[in-house]
Amino acid sequence: MKRLKLPILYLLSLVLSIGPIAVFVALNIDSYVSTTQDAIKLSFGGVAVVIIVILKVLGKLKISSRIAVFGCVFVLSYLLNSLLCDLAILSFLALIGEGLDQIIGIFIKREKEKRQNEKIAKATVSQLEGLIPRS
């Protein structure tokens, strides 16, 4: 169970990051996909958002260029155009999700530190065992 704790925390972080928005979009999906083109754009945009959130949760999302940031904003706003009318609600839900993710991040950090300390302790014990003669 100890080995599963960190992956479960990562999964919980992912779910809490996108959960509030996913529930809201699922409840209002009929108004967002009135045409086939809207459905396709929304699908691609949703996949892009999920990829971005997964990279964020894993700590791999590093966008240093402002051009890249604005390019991502443009592409996502084009693909998720049908959601823009509810932008205030969606951004509030994203804020809630990010807050919950920050809380889970504390537990992830503690678990990583705990695992690192256990690894150091085991290495120290094995080194000390080699120095102390057995009688």
Where along the chain do its domains lie?
2-131
pLDDT at 2 over 70: no
CA atoms of 32 and 42, how far apart (whole Å): 8
Cβ atoms < 10 Å from Cβ of 113: 10
CB 7 within 8 A of CB 116: no
Of 11, 40, 132, 32, give the one whose Cα is nearest residue 90: 32
CA atoms of 49 and 77, how far apart (whole Å): 11
pLDDT bin (cut points 50, 70, 90) of residue 1 is: low
pLDDT at 117 over 80: yes
Looking at residue 52, what is its pLDDT?
Answer: 83
Mean pLDDT across the chain, nearest whole number? Answer: 84
